[in-house]
Chain A
Amino acid sequence: MARAITTQRKIINTTAAWTIGLLIFFPILWTILTSFKTEAQAISDPPVFLAFDWTLENYGVVLERSNYGRFLWNSIIIAGGSTILGILIAVPAAWSMAFVPSKRTKDILLWMLSTKMLPAVGVLYPIYLLFIKLGILDTRTGLVIVIMLMNLPIIVWMLYTYFKEIPGEILEAARMDGATLKEEVLHILTPMAIPGIASTLLLNFILAWNEAFWTLNLTAAKAAPLTAFIASYSSPEGLFYAKLSAASTMAIAPILVLGWFSQKQLVSGLTFGAVK
């Protein structure tokens, strides 16, 4: 009887998980399917799911019209650069707050997070003017800096949470054995926090890859990444949904593949410390 209930519950749980998963994934699946339709099929009512004449024409048009390679390269540099720079700054910050907390550590953490509560558009003009003054408008360097700054509170918070899970006694033991601060961070703390750092790195890379406010507002022809590539196919006067879907699919494909292969690390990192 107990076994029957367990099996039944398992089936219900599995079905529910698949249903929720498919519901979440459906918009992406629909975008991918639309990219293989003609423009007429893309807007047909009732919509066609799989029974349509599959075509690669939209991909051909998008590749011919846009320099996909340049947008992709910009995305890689901007997302990769801001992630690495962010980690380099956040690891020591999170270490100090986790292991050498002061009276104000909690306040600082909250203050850092509070910067995320302001809508980005609120600081658009000051940053835009600053970029003009510094000559970094429409440059990858400028975007690496601004996106790193935008994501830094999240990185610090995530790393802080992971570091807090590491017993302070281990670090203390290392210190008693004569380890310097550098050795402590590099040889003791970092290897133990690798799953946390890896998942923070991946999540931050995904956030930076998908960032569409700053990348659209601070770039023109030179540093525009894949978000700008997608936006260029949006049209208020004309139905180009199939081409827009092809551009979207091409933009999300690299990150989708990366997410697929690293899902184990992402899940283990994100649930780290969730269950005690």
Chain B
Amino acid sequence: MTLKVSTLLSACAVAALSTAATAETITIATVNNGDMIRMQGLTADFTEKTGHEVEWVTLEENVLRQRVTQDIATKGGQFDIMTIGMYETPIWGKQDWLVSLDDLPADYDVDDILPAMRGGLSVDGTLYAAPFYGESSMIMYRTDLMEKAGLEMPDAPTWEFVADAARKMTDKDNEIYGICLRGKAGWGENMAFLTATSNAFGARWFDEDWKAQFDSDAWNETLNFYIGLMNDAGPPGASTNGFNENLSLFQQGKCGMWIDATVAASFVTNPDDSTVADKVGFALAPDTGKGKRGNWLWAWALAIPAGTQKVDAAKEFINWATSKDYLALVAENEGWASVPPGTRTSLYENPDYAAVPFAKMTLESILSADPTNPTVDPVPYIGVQFVAIPEFAGIASQVGQEFSAALAGQQTAEEALEKAQALVTEEMEAAGY
């Protein structure tokens, strides 16, 4: 017995020593947003629990994409963890550029991750990135302006209702614009919004044989509807407006409605920054009665590049940062409204979190997005507001420029669609589809 105890103690001592000896410094590439910055502030908790130190490299989103792609493709080994999105994960996972996260400990409770998020971050059932926060898109609207227009926003409106309400809310003399939507060119800017919106109109990027579909009636209807609505009820210079520009307009009380990322809800309801914080309502992104809504699905997730030498420490960090305990830690330090949303079912079952004004609509928006079956007709790709193929970012950026030019009045919607059809067809053929 004595021998057994002493053996056990020795084993414990060795284990303790080996833990201390294997304490690592891991480098994490991330983006600058509220949730990520909050995580950086709480890193001491991770270091205290594991002994590992963390070095953060915070980059602008587009720079981050370029840097992590560059690093992973050249096996540069600069980062042990990368913050990547739903677009990159399936592409990189398929190429074996990422370490599988299927062996996270049981108490991590991987089944608690929202199915839409888990599905979007997996390849053939293998999880390659753990969601840190998830988002969809929804309508944020001014309750006072809606009331003034004599309308009541339903929880699940149609595009017809939204367009009618936008036109009624518009008062250009007083710089009130019924609707603010993305117009700035970019695959993550206007094309994220328009691709998601086109789903509601029954449009799709490609048919099942990977043939471009911009010559379809559904795309024509989508683009003409968008441009017509923005001309009647949108702010001036909308073709240069992205998320931040619209956020600024909404916070200053110049937008009746804004359809964009659910993460914006915490900004527009924050009285420190928003002049309309107490007059904001939420609704699902609109549909056209065809069975699909124009809301997207996105997650910022943590992944481990295959080239890192510190896989174990990186997994420990991911286990900490995307766990239920982390959500509780944020709630304890900064309140439930600051908890990273959209990742775990248990968060939405928590009565404390249910009291957050935008929690219910965020969850419903996330649950109603289906990346594997995004639009009315069948498609050969995954992704609601993107097509998860490596060529998409480049192609969609070019299409985005054509659509932005059409919104700016430099060409008609038909001309923009014709150019889009031609360039997408050419690029896809060149890529071997």
Contacts and interface: CB of A to CB of B under 8 A. Distances in A.
A125 interface: yes
B57 A235 contact: no
Interface string B257-274: 000010110010000111
B261 A237 contact: yes
Contacts of A138: 78
A43 B245 CA distance: 9
Interface in A92-139: 124-125, 128-129, 132, 137-138
B67 to A, nearest CB: 7
Interface string B368-408: 00000000000000000000000000000000000000000
Nearest to B135: A237
A125 B67 CA distance: 11
A186 interface: no
A214 interface: no
Interface string A231-261: 1111111111000000000000000000000
B84 to A, nearest CB: 15
Interface in A186-243: 216-217, 220-221, 224, 228, 231-240
Nearest to B244: A239
Contact of B27 (A65, A125, A129, A221): A221
Interface residues of A, number: 30
Contacts of B37: 65
A56 B195 CA distance: 42
B70 A217 contact: yes
Nearest to B247: A239
Interface string A36-47: 001110011100
A38 B275 CA distance: 13
Given A231-B63, A238-B244, A128 B32 contact: no
Contact of A232 (B59, B67, B74, B247): B59
Contacts of A231: 59-60, 63
A269 to B, nearest CB: 34
Nearest to A234: B60
Interface in B238-258: 242-244, 247-248, 251-252, 254
Contact of B32 (A43, A44, A235): A235
A260 to B, nearest CB: 29
Contacts of A128: 70, 74, 76
Given A217-B70, A239-B267, A224 B60 contact: no
20 contacts: A40-B274, A43-B252, A45-B252, A65-B37, A124-B70, A132-B77, A137-B76, A137-B78, A232-B57, A232-B60, A235-B32, A235-B60, A235-B61, A236-B60, A237-B33, A237-B261, A237-B264, A238-B32, A238-B34, A238-B267
Given A39-B273, A237-B261, 19 more contacts: A40-B272, A65-B37, A128-B74, A217-B66, A220-B29, A220-B57, A221-B57, A228-B59, A232-B57, A232-B59, A234-B32, A235-B32, A235-B244, A236-B62, A236-B188, A237-B264, A238-B267, A239-B247, A239-B267
